[in-house]
A and B are shown apart, each in its own frame.
Chain A
Amino acid sequence: MSDDWKEKLYEPEGELIKVDSVGYEERTELIEIDSVDLDYAGKTGSIKALENIHFNIFPGEFVCVLGPSGCGKSTLLKIIAGFIKPTSGAVRLDGKEIEGTDWHRGVVFQNPPLYEWYSVRSNISFGPKMRGLPKSEYEPLVDEYIAKVGLTEFADKKIYELSGGMKQRVSIARALINDPEILLMDEPFGALDALTRESVQDLTRKIWWDTGKTIFFITHDVEEALLLASRVIVLSRHPGKVIDDIRVNFSRQIIEDGADDIKFTPEFYKYRERLLKLINGQRTEQDK
């Protein structure tokens, strides 16, 4: 894969730019989220969880969807994964409408549903095995991905012997080994302690940069979004609507310049304030 995508991620760079589909039409999107609405049945009639969600995801992007709890961000991920169908609108992958769940969209869940009856290795080889690939083909891949997530010493451990952070690493490797077109991550590090979270964030960023994998990442943590994403999308609450869509390149700076103190730069601060204000604005409006 050529590195073109890395350049395209941040065009145009610098200013805070409101993105709409017009400016990016020359690029072919990987995922097209086309006017998606989702209603679900509540006690008093139907409740709108998502309203007119409309954006594209381009190859190589690291999209973080940020929003207060109850904004339907996980629901959006479930629609892309194919677990639920939108009430109206459609999601297309490479121009084809998504119907049901398959391995082209890998998912990393908040509580990794790893199979306790298998070892780390068997959990990671689960995908290729189910897809009927020959053992000789996926066996070396399994070792490669175990190494990639830094679990070589733990390859033959049982799942219950792992810490929360390690479980999430297994979960990432298990999804990546299938080489999905996009990796969907649903608040994957929300339940981890601060230090562990930082190390799996670093891992995720590195994997993204090294493989050029497109990532769609749900979080409610503004800093996490800024430290990982190439693009941050903010959803409002009740109903979930896109209220901001910005490109950021802190993630790239961390990788290319090893800038670990980026959190303390005025620029980072500016973005953080902007996003916090948006999200907190939501909250006070709701609480009134």
Chain B
Amino acid sequence: MKKGSGKNLLISLITVGIIVAAWFIVTSTGSVSELFIPKPSSVWKAFINAVNDGYKGSTLFKHLGTSLQRLMIAYLICVVTAVPLGLLSGYNSRIRAVLEPIIEFYRPLPPLAYYTILTLWMGIDESSKLALLYLAGFAPIYISCVAGVVRIKEDYINGAKTLGANKRQIFFYVIFPAALTDVFTGLRTALGVEYTTLVAAEMVAATAGIGWMVLDASKYLRSDVVFMGVIIMGITGILLDQLIRLIERKVIHWKGRS
């Protein structure tokens, strides 16, 4: 897998290069309205403007910061609740029997469908947004934690028993580390899902946030701001994912090597 990854990176960069070049060429002819595809220079200008003067009262970093703060708070609550609950559910089928129907029911629902209920219950300010992000992130983490535990070979657990470990020790010293690979898969998926839900969360009664900025700009047909926002969101998303991968590599040093 490692072999030729430098070459693959080059190919990926060429793809990006071609798309950007196409963007320049198409917009430079003037045959396409700025409304549909703004010029790269306009998007850049929108970016500089947003950084320096801000968009509707907040600078770009304030918007981004607000969104990331929402994301991180919801994500952290997710991690500290979904990981233990998921692992326990994998270990104990009764706990799983309690939680599974709830999760199986809401997981396939589009977040916007139950967002209305959440706003009804919790109001339109911050808490309903956090709750939406939390629910979006919970299911993937929970499900992959359960799968991670269920997948553990019986010999791992039997082996620990023959060495004298009790149930609690087996959970902490064997099951938890053995499931870590799957836990991280869940953590990555959850961050992605939460990130995509973020725009939906900022549709209702927000005054700041990168998702809100894009939605608001679209109302005034500010394509340059919309494009700029989408690109920023895309890059941030990639960076967040890379960050988790980096942590994963540090934590699970044995992954893919056994």
Contact = CB atoms under 8 A, between A and B. Distances in A.
Most interface-central of B155, B169, B178 (chain A CB within 10 A): B155
A269 interface: no
B184 to A, nearest CB: 13
Contact of B162 (A107, A111, A115, A159): A107
Interface stretch (A43-51, A124-132, A243-251): A124-132
A159 B158 contact: no
B153 to A, nearest CB: 6
Given A101-B161, A130-B164, A175-B163, A113 B156 contact: yes
A81 B158 CA distance: 9
B31 interface: no
Contacts of A107: 158-159, 162
Interface string B174-187: 10011010000000
A5 interface: no
B42 to A, nearest CB: 52
A81 B161 CA distance: 10
Contact of A159 (B159, B163, B164, B254): B254
A113 B177 CA distance: 13
Contact of B164 (A81, A160, A178): A178
A180 B164 CA distance: 10
A110 to B, nearest CB: 9
A130 B177 contact: no
B173 interface: yes
Given A111-B155, A158-B257, 15 more contacts: A83-B158, A101-B158, A107-B158, A107-B159, A113-B155, A113-B159, A115-B174, A115-B177, A128-B164, A130-B160, A131-B164, A159-B254, A160-B254, A174-B163, A175-B162
Contact of B163 (A82, A117, A126): A126
B164 A116 contact: no
A111 B257 CA distance: 16
Contacts of A126: 160, 163, 165, 173
Interface of B: 153, 155-156, 158-166, 169, 173-174, 177-178, 180, 252-254, 257-258
Most interface-central of B159, B160, B161, B178 (chain A CB within 10 A): B159
Contacts, number: 71
Given A113-B156, A115-B177, A159-B258, A81 B165 contact: no
Contacts of B258: 116, 159-160
25 contacts: A81-B162, A82-B161, A100-B161, A101-B158, A101-B162, A102-B161, A102-B164, A109-B155, A109-B159, A113-B153, A115-B174, A115-B177, A117-B177, A117-B252, A117-B254, A126-B160, A127-B163, A130-B160, A130-B163, A130-B164, A130-B165, A131-B164, A158-B253, A158-B257, A175-B162
Interface residues of A, number: 28
Contacts of B174: 115
A127 B164 contact: yes
B163 A178 contact: yes
Contacts of B162: 81, 101-103, 105-107, 175, 180
Contacts of B180: 117
Interface in A77-125: 81-83, 100-103, 105-107, 109, 111, 113, 115-117
Given A101-B161, A102-B161, A159-B254, A130 B156 contact: no
A174 B169 CA distance: 17
A109 B161 CA distance: 13
A160 B161 CA distance: 23
Nearest to A127: B163
Contacts of A106: 162-163
